Amino acid sequence: MSNLEIRDLHVSVETEAGPKEILRGVDLTIESGQTHAIMGPNGSGKSTLAYSLAGHPKYTVTSGSVRLDGEDVLDMTVDERARAGLFLAMQYPVEVPGVSVSNFLRTAKTAIDGEAPKLRTWVKDVKESMQNLAIDDAFAERDLNTGFSGGEKKRHEILQLELLQPKFAVLDETDSGLDIDALRIVSDGVNRFTANGDKGVLLITHYTRILRYIKPDFVHVFVGGKIAEEGGPELADKLEEQGYVDYVGASA
């Protein structure tokens, strides 16, 4: 069983006025087989947490620790974190002109595993995953995310997730901009990823609609750069009814 432990994590960004603290002591542990949902208002630091875990250079960890199976994540480079089993699905996937989807996927798989996948098996796996995610075969030869709609970009993030099979997936507002059909397709992909019970998911979202399809084991309310309350799926229902007003007032 794997675990991802975040302890007293403080993160800052550089502004014209100097360093600004965004995360102010985050404590969170995710075990294999668990799905954790983080919900909170805009500007609460949810995406900062996601990008800090992935190693984005814009964010500076000033104190605290992140460990994956006991290994210090913060001492790892971005590619080392990926090879160790961390995956980030971005809220705004970047376009990569000149790199086809098929080349990107195979290169990423080779980098993660340390060896190229067997071609016959790989082609079969890619085709099957694309069909499951309602991605047209022609997209394999298109430049990565270039000219894709928001929903197409999000489905390609989940395609990467299914093929790379990390230990822990951080999904940063994967439901953002999805229509109801795309939301179901993406959710089904995440559920396939977790079906064997050996993967962990940190799902960051504003809304409860994706939680109708991806059932969290734990829900965390994120306000003012830290976790304000924790609970089970019923906490999401409470947020749907009452919003974040009480938490925002308490964190001011």
pLDDT single digits (tens) 183-192: 999 999 999 9
Cα 197 to chain centroid, rounded: 17
Q: Using CA atoms in the order 159, 35, 80, 206, what is the torsion angle rounded to 10 degrees?
A: 80
Rounded CA separation 72/9 (Å): 13
146 contacts: CB under 8 Å, gap ≥ 6: 95, 96, 97
- Residue 115 is given by DSSP the state S
Residue 51, pLDDT above cutoff 70: yes
Of the chain, the percentage scoring pLDDT greater than 90 comes to 86
Domains, in order of start, for the chain: 3-251 (3.40.50.300)
DSSP 8-state symbol, 214? S
Q: What is the pLDDT of residue 30?
A: 98
- Other CB atoms within a 10 A radius of the CB of residue 149 amount to 11
Q: pLDDT tens for residues 177-226?
A: 899 999 999 999 999 999 999 999 999 998 899 999 999 999 999 999 99
Among all chains, which residue has been given the structure tokens 């809220």?
91
Per-residue pLDDT tens for 2-48?
A: 999 999 999 999 988 889 999 999 999 999 999 999 999 988 999 99
Q: How far apart are CA 128 and CA 138, in angstroms?
A: 14
Q: How would residue 245 be classed by pLDDT, with cut points 50, 70 and 90?
A: confident
d(CA 123, CA 103): 12
Beta-sheet strand order (sheet of 59-68): 18-31, 3-15, 59-68, 71-72
Average pLDDT, the chain: 94
Categorize the per-residue pLDDT at 251 as very low, low, confident or very high, splitting at 50, 70 and 90: low
pLDDT, residue 134, reads 95
Q: Would the pLDDT of 121 be above 70?
A: yes
**pLDDT score at 249:** 62
Please compute the mean of the pLDDT values over residues 75-84 and round it to a whole number.
96
Q: In this structure, what token pair is assigned to residue 35?
A: 């799905």
User: Is the model's pLDDT at 86 over the cut of 70?
Assistant: yes
pLDDT at 252: 46
Encoded tokens for 43: 């500007």
Q: What percent of the chain has pLDDT over 70?
A: 98
**8 Å CB contact between 2 and 168:** yes
Encoded tokens for 48:
């900062």
Confidence category of residue 146, pLDDT binned at 50, 70, 90: very high
| Angstrom distance (rounded) from CA 2 to CA 64 | 20
When comparing pLDDT for 92 and 142, which is higher?
A: 142
**Tokens at 95, concatenated:** 């376009």
Residue 73, number of CB atoms within 10 A of its CB? 23
Q: How far is CA 86 from CA 6, 29, 45, 149, 214, in A?
A: 13, 14, 19, 26, 20
For residue 227 the two structure tokens come to 């976790």
Please tell me the pTM assigned to this model: 0.93
Residue 250 is predicted with a pLDDT of 55
What the block records as the tokens of 15 is 């502004």
